[in-house]
Amino acid sequence: MRVAVGRVVNGKVEVAGEPLGEGQAVTVLAPEAEERFELGPDDEAALLASIAEADRGELLTGDEVLRRIKGR
């Protein structure tokens, strides 16, 4: 998984850096007019560590997450 930043140009999202693969599924989070989304250094490090865990296959299934939330 990779975090990429881009801008809308002529109605299309252009991603900075190395291009994404053709047909790759993406999720786009777009802030409202004056809304900003920023991570501090600690939160960014935690996010990147979580992405690295997912890349290594250290994942929980949806059922496992729900069991943990319900305390089972």
Number of domains within the chain = 1
Q: Is residue 1 part of a domain?
A: no
Distance between CA 1 and CA 50 in Å, rounded?
10
Distance between CA 32 and CA 13 in Å, rounded?
16
Residue 43 — φ and ψ, nearest 5°?
Answer: -65, -40
Q: Is residue 65 part of a domain?
A: yes
State pLDDT tens for residues 2-48: 777 888 899 888 888 888 888 888 888 777 878 777 888 999 999 89
Domain carrying residue 16: 6-70
The token pair at 69 is: 């939330």
pLDDT at 4: 78
Q: Is residue 10 part of a domain?
A: yes
Q: Is residue 17 part of a domain?
A: yes
